[in-house]
Amino acid sequence: MSRQGCPLELERFSAGYGNGDCVVRDASFALRSGCMTALVGPNGAGKSTLLKGALGLLPHANTAGVRFFGQPLDKVRARVAYLPQRADIDWTFPASALDVAAMGLYRKIGFFHRVRGKWKSEARRALAMVGMESLDDMPIGELSGGQQQRVLLARSLVQGADLLMLDEPFVNVDFATEERLGAVLRDACRSGMSVLAVHHDLGDVRRYFDDAVLFDGTVVAHGSIDVALADANLHEAFRLGPPPEDSIA
Amino acid sequence: MMPSLAVDVPAVIALMLALVACGTLGNFLVLRKEAMTADAIAHAVLPGLVAGFLVSGSRSITAMFVGAACAGVISILLSNWSRRATQLEPGATLGIVFTGLFALGVILLETQGARQVDLDAECVLFGSLETLFYVPASDASWYEGVPRAIWTLAVIAFLTSSFAVLFMKELALLAFDPNAARHLGVAPRWLERAFLVLVSASIVASFEAVGSVLVIGILACPALIAAPHARTVAGQITLSLLLGLALSILGYSLAAFAPRLFHTPSALNSAGMIALVLALAVPLSHALHRRRQRKSNAI
């Protein structure tokens, strides 16, 4: 499958919540195709706002400078998958793991059609990719936090998208789950998919990601991990004061 | 006292239809954590109802329906606008809008509607279940004796249940994860608007028969009663309608047999008693669920 074109390109992108304050200001960067890119920055920097704004999920975002695979989102919506923060989801909702995974197929299934056998098989395959095939009938409220996160990832994977935009996929999951999710995402990237994920832990960013966007309301640095997360950039983004002289050297 | 075919059956049919119309969509409001919206619309349509009545000079269902639907849409637009303008939480803006519109409705009702004989505050609050008689004329077809409110409710119940069945998965995703629904493009604006218009229509159609107090009750309570016990959205809707119907008939019977059961001088208001039974069943249902969970955890 051809997955040519820059998966996501932002040009002077701004977004906010309509109270006059711009949470994201003049953000510009372009993702490398087939790579895992971490969106890192301090708490409240606007990382989730950037994701939601670029996807047109905020009423106060200027998406004129946002291009997915060189086109506006509406033309390539099926090629972009979004995984929200686990805390944004109501886990008391009456649905099983299979029901939630199948939600990623609703666009393909279309209006007026039910989720029948063929679609359920696809959803089960996605659950198997994240190691959740044995729990497909389990109500989502009875799953652990890590299992819930895996179900959400299955929902994103089943779309067959070329770009995954993930909001804190590794938060509040145990080490084994994090490893599993990381491996699934790496495999997806090897097959040509691109990933942009909000990530908090600077300590393990190198283990999973190829590139990073260091973000603090606007793009502080972008590029390979070593370039983007250089000490000088981290000090600027996290407002730690000037870095020690030897690290600049 | 035996149930009467001419008096009790029309009332129970009207209850059942109102329950299907409001209760089906009420499940999605509860799943969206927007049960308050039902309350808000139920209050906010009042000035529209009165305005429709004043303009047409009669209880013409078309005029009142148009007036109430306009008021419902205005309340949603006002609420969305004030949310954006003030950055207050959605519940707070709804509270401001619906109390304002309801107050306007009461003022209109008392200053304008009180002059008319068949639109009064008590009728709006408690409906007219007790006056839904089946009176067939000797020289007319059987259906001409069926109260008009039942026909209206039947049409709305058919529309809302068809809407829910046709768009079940989209409405469920919109409730579970609205951002994903919008991103996937399965929840276009017309679907959300159609949902709110149908909620308004169900409320308006149910107003005449069951009154505003019970409308709010049947929108939210059956869904809240069923929610802890359901594993699927369709299952929750089915369970809520079955339990809602059983509890409504229980409330209706308690009101009718009140002189014998509670030694009251006359039968109690049906809509009020049904609303009370439904409201009491909500905490009871949740307590039963918690007890069952404790037992399964102990095992």
Give domain limits for chain B: 8-291
- The pLDDT assigned to B129 comes to 77
DSSP state of B190: H
DSSP state of B120: -
Q: First and final CA of chain B: distance in angstroms?
A: 48
The full DSSP string for A82-113 is EE--GGGS-TTSS-BHHHHHHHTTHHHH-TT-
**Domain A9-248 CATH superfamily:** P-loop containing nucleotide triphosphate hydrolases (3.40.50.300)
Contacts of A141 (CB under 8 A, 6+ apart): A91, A92, A93
Top-confidence residue, B173 or A44 = B173
* Residue A41 three-state SS: coil
User: Structure pTM?
Assistant: 0.85
- The pLDDT assigned to A249 comes to 44
Amino acid symbol at B119: L
**DSSP H or E segment with residue B89:** none
CATH: 1.10.1760.20, 2.40.50.100, 1.10.3470.10, 1.10.10.10. Which one for B8-291? 1.10.3470.10
Judge whether residue A53 has pLDDT over 70.
Answer: yes
A interface toward B at CB cutoff 8 Å? 17-19, 52, 55-57, 59, 77, 80, 82, 84, 88-90, 92-96, 99-100, 103-104, 106-107, 109, 111-112, 114-115, 139, 155, 159
CA–CA separation, B45 vs B165, rounded Å? 26
CA distance B100 to chain A (A): 24
B interface toward A at CB cutoff 8 Å? 31, 33, 84, 87, 166-167, 169-170, 172-173, 175-177, 179-180, 182-186, 227, 230-233, 235-236
- The pLDDT assigned to B115 comes to 55
- The pLDDT assigned to B38 comes to 73
Q: Compute mean pLDDT per 10 residues along chain B, 299 residues long, and list them.
A: 67 93 94 82 82 78 79 79 74 82 85 59 69 71 77 94 96 93 88 86 83 87 95 96 96 89 84 93 95 83
DSSP state of B58: S
Which residues on A lie below 8 Å from B165 (Cβ)?
Answer: none
Rg from Cα positions in chain B: 20
> Is B184 within 8 Å of A107 when comparing Cβ atoms?
yes
Mean pLDDT of all residues belonging to chain A? 88
Distance, CA of B243 to chain centre:
15
> Is B87 within 8 Å of A19 when comparing Cβ atoms?
yes
| Residue B263 CB coordination number (10 Å) | 7
Number of inter-chain CB pairs under 8 A, A vs B: 78
The values of phi and psi at residue A223, to 5°, are 150, -155
Which residues on B lie below 8 Å from A103 (Cβ)?
Answer: 169, 173, 176-177, 180, 184
Rg from Cα positions in chain A: 18
Amino acid symbol at A166: L
Contacts of B120 (CB under 8 A, 6+ apart): B109, B113, B114
- The pLDDT assigned to B120 comes to 58
Residues forming beta bridges with residue A66, ordered by sequence position: A10
Q: Check if the beta carbon of residue A23 is closer than 8 Å to that of residue A69.
A: no
Total count of residues recorded for chain A:
249
> Is A103 within 8 Å of B180 when comparing Cβ atoms?
yes
* Residue B195 three-state SS: helix
The values of phi and psi at residue A165, to 5°, are -110, 110
CB-based burial label for B18 (10 Å; 0-12, 13-18, 19+): buried
Q: Check if the beta carbon of residue A92 is closer than 8 Å to that of residue A66.
A: no
Helices (H) and strands (E) in chain A, counts: 10, 10
Q: Which of B166, B183, B290, B297 to mutate to test the interface with A (most CBs of A within 10 A)?
A: B183
Which residues on B lie below 8 Å from A23 (Cβ)?
Answer: none
Q: Which residue of A has its CA nearest to B234?
A: A94
* pLDDT, tens digit, 9 for 90 and up, residues A145-186: 889 999 999 999 999 999 999 999 988 788 888 888 899 999
The values of phi and psi at residue B39, to 5°, are -60, -45
- Strands of chain A, DSSP E: 9-16, 22-30, 36-40, 60-62, 66-67, 80-83, 163-167, 194-198, 211-215, 219-224
Which residues on B lie below 8 Å from A104 (Cβ)?
Answer: 184
Judge whether residue A228 has pLDDT over 80.
Answer: yes
Residue B112: name the closest of B202, B28, B47 by CA: B47
Residue B269: name the closest of B11, B6, B5 by CA: B11
The full DSSP string for A157-175 is HTTT-SEEEEESTTTT--H
Contacts of A105 (CB under 8 A, 6+ apart): A115, A119, A122, A123, A158, A159
Q: CA–CA distance from A161 to each of A149, A157, A179, B34 (Å)?
A: 18, 7, 22, 32
Which residues on B lie below 8 Å from A17 (Cβ)?
Answer: 87
| Residue A203 CB coordination number (10 Å) | 7
CA–CA separation, B122 vs B35, rounded Å? 24
- The pLDDT assigned to A126 comes to 94
Top-confidence residue, A231 or B297 = A231
* Cross-chain CB nearest to A93 (options B84, B176, B182): B176
Token pair 């929902």: residue: A155
* Residue B125 three-state SS: helix
Judge whether residue A36 has pLDDT over 80.
Answer: yes
> Is A77 within 8 Å of B185 when comparing Cβ atoms?
yes
Q: Check if the beta carbon of residue A215 is closer than 8 Å to that of residue A45.
A: yes
Amino acid symbol at A54: A
> Is A94 within 8 Å of B235 when comparing Cβ atoms?
yes
* Residue A39 three-state SS: strand
CA–CA separation, A101 vs A121, rounded Å? 11
> Is B177 within 8 Å of A88 when comparing Cβ atoms?
yes
- The pLDDT assigned to A223 comes to 92
Dihedral sign of CA atoms B76, B81, B82, B83 in order = positive
Judge whether residue A84 has pLDDT over 60.
Answer: yes
* Residue A29 three-state SS: strand
CA distance B95 to chain A (A): 21
Q: ∠ CA(B282), CA(B280), CA(B297), 5° rounding?
A: 45
Which residues on A lie below 8 Å from B185 (Cβ)?
Answer: 77, 107
